[in-house]
Amino acid sequence: MLAIADYGVGNLFSLQSSLKSLGESAYFASRPEELKRADRIILPGVGAFGDAVKKLRETGMFDALKEQAKAGKPILGICLGMQLLLEKSLEFGTFEGLGLIKGEVRPIAEVIPKGLKIPHIGWNGLSFKPHPLFKNIRQGDCVYFVHSFFAADCPSIIATTDYGANLTAAVAEENVAGCQFHPEKSGAVGLAILKSFCEF
């Protein structure tokens, strides 16, 4: 069974529906022991990094996610959930992340040309390295992004997208992966990526 980490941040209806459409039953996990009995875990999230870390710590899931990752369980972070996998974030202060992926979260304003709109919202193409998550999609396929921060100084980038600069679109280190875009909102391409994670 697949667990969706539920720590009170964001709407999980679409994510659960998209998994259901793939024939994958997913349950919401809001306590450490509920994460432990899952075969794989999705860490979603929208909103601010600092708030999310606070809520993960309050529920005990911060340490539980680290334990499950070290035990080799497949974990997929989505959007803010991907950013939480990194070592730290510079969004409205400096916050420590889960540290499962090397790198830090920085504003896209530092790297994109002036005049481009922030947040980066909409459909953009993926340029990816071979990885099990991408086995059923093609180079250049579009996915849906909504973000103002990105994973920087990250040696584990497996996909980028071009928004005036190459922005990190996905990261992975062994059993832990994350995508900056929303696969549950990216039509058939997004569903193919979620399906691949379920077989990961």
Partner 1 sequence: MLRKRIIPCLDVRDGKVTKGINFLGNRDIADPVELADFYSKCGADELVFYDITASAEGRALFTDVLRRVASTVFIPLTVGGGIRTLEDFDRVLKCGADKVSVNSGAIADKTLIRRASERYGSQCVVISADVARKDGGYRVYGRGGRDDTGIDAEEWIKYCVSEGAGEVVLNSIDTDGVKCGFDIEMLEALCKDISVPVVASGGAGKTEDFIALFKALPWVDAGLAASVFHYKEISIPELKAELSKCCIPVRL
Q: Facing residues of 177 across strands?
A: 76, 172
Determine if 11 is a binding residue for partner 1 (CB under 8 A).
Answer: yes
CB within 8 A of 49, min separation 6: which ones?
80, 83, 84, 89, 91, 92, 95, 97, 105, 149
Extended beta strands in 17-108, E state = 26-29, 40-43, 75-78, 86-89, 95-96, 101-107
Question: How far apart are the C-alpha atoms of 55 and 154, rounded to whole Å?
Answer: 25
Determine if 110 is a binding residue for partner 1 (CB under 8 A).
Answer: no
Among 57, 110, 129, 187, binds partner 1 (CB under 8 A): 187
Active site residue 198: no
Q: Which is nearer to partner 1, 101 or 143 (CB)?
A: 143
Among 28, 125, 127, 135, binds partner 1 (CB under 8 A): 125
Q: Which of these is catalytic: 34, 154, 182, 199?
A: 182
Q: Which of these is catalytic: 34, 79, 104, 179?
A: 79
Among 60, 123, 173, 175, binds partner 1 (CB under 8 A): 123
Query: Which residues sit at the interface with partner 1, rule CB under 8 A?
Result: 11, 13-14, 17-18, 20-21, 46-47, 117-125, 142, 144, 146, 162-163, 184-187, 190-191
